């Protein structure tokens, strides 16, 4: 279990360093997660220790939403004042995401059918 936790923390630390010195616009944990996924793809699998730590984290993932919920309640007046802009941005981003995903799937399915 310690080995799996060390692996996760190692990749997060590498991501933080990369964010600090190479890619300041991306958050360190995101860079670390991408590097971890690439490393696991190169290894073609997950070891038991890392899987055990990941399962342990996923059981308590819901607790991470508590601070966000507190923030929503704390800033409720600002959210109500800007409700139209927030809803417009959410609906627009969902529509753009679905549309761009459909275009990518269509492009990739055409490419596969030619091969």
Spell out a b/e string for 36-65, using b for 16 or more CB atoms within 10 Å of the CB, else e: beeeeeeeeeeeeebeebeeeeeeeeeeee
Q: How far apart are CA 112 and CA 24, in angstroms?
A: 37
Residue 68 is predicted with a pLDDT of 78
Locate 79 and state its tokens: 């959210």
The answer to whether 23 touches 31, Cβ cutoff 8 Å, is yes
pLDDT of residue 10: 92
- Answer for the pair 49, 1: CB distance below 8 angstroms, yes or no: yes
Quote the crossing angle between the two packed helices 2-21 and 28-43, to the nearest 10°. 130
What pLDDT score does 5 carry? 87
Handedness of CA 69, 75, 76, 79 (dihedral sign): negative
Split the chain (115 residues) into runs of 10 and give each run's mean pLDDT: 87 93 89 91 86 86 80 86 95 97 88 64
């Amino acid at each position: 279990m310690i080995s799996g936790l060390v692996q996760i923390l190692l990749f997060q630390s590498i991501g933080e360093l990369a964010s600090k010195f190479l890619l300041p616009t991306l958050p360190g944990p995101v860079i670390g997660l991408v590097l971890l996924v690439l490393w696991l793809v190169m290894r073609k699998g997950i070891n038991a220790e890392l899987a055990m730590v990941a399962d342990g984290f996923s059981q308590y993932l819901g607790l991470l939403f508590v601070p966000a919920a507190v923030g929503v309640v704390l800033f409720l007046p600002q959210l109500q004042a800007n409700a139209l802009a927030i809803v417009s941005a959410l609906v627009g981003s969902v529509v753009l995401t679905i549309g761009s995903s459909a275009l990518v799937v269509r492009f990739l399915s055409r490419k596969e059918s030619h091969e």
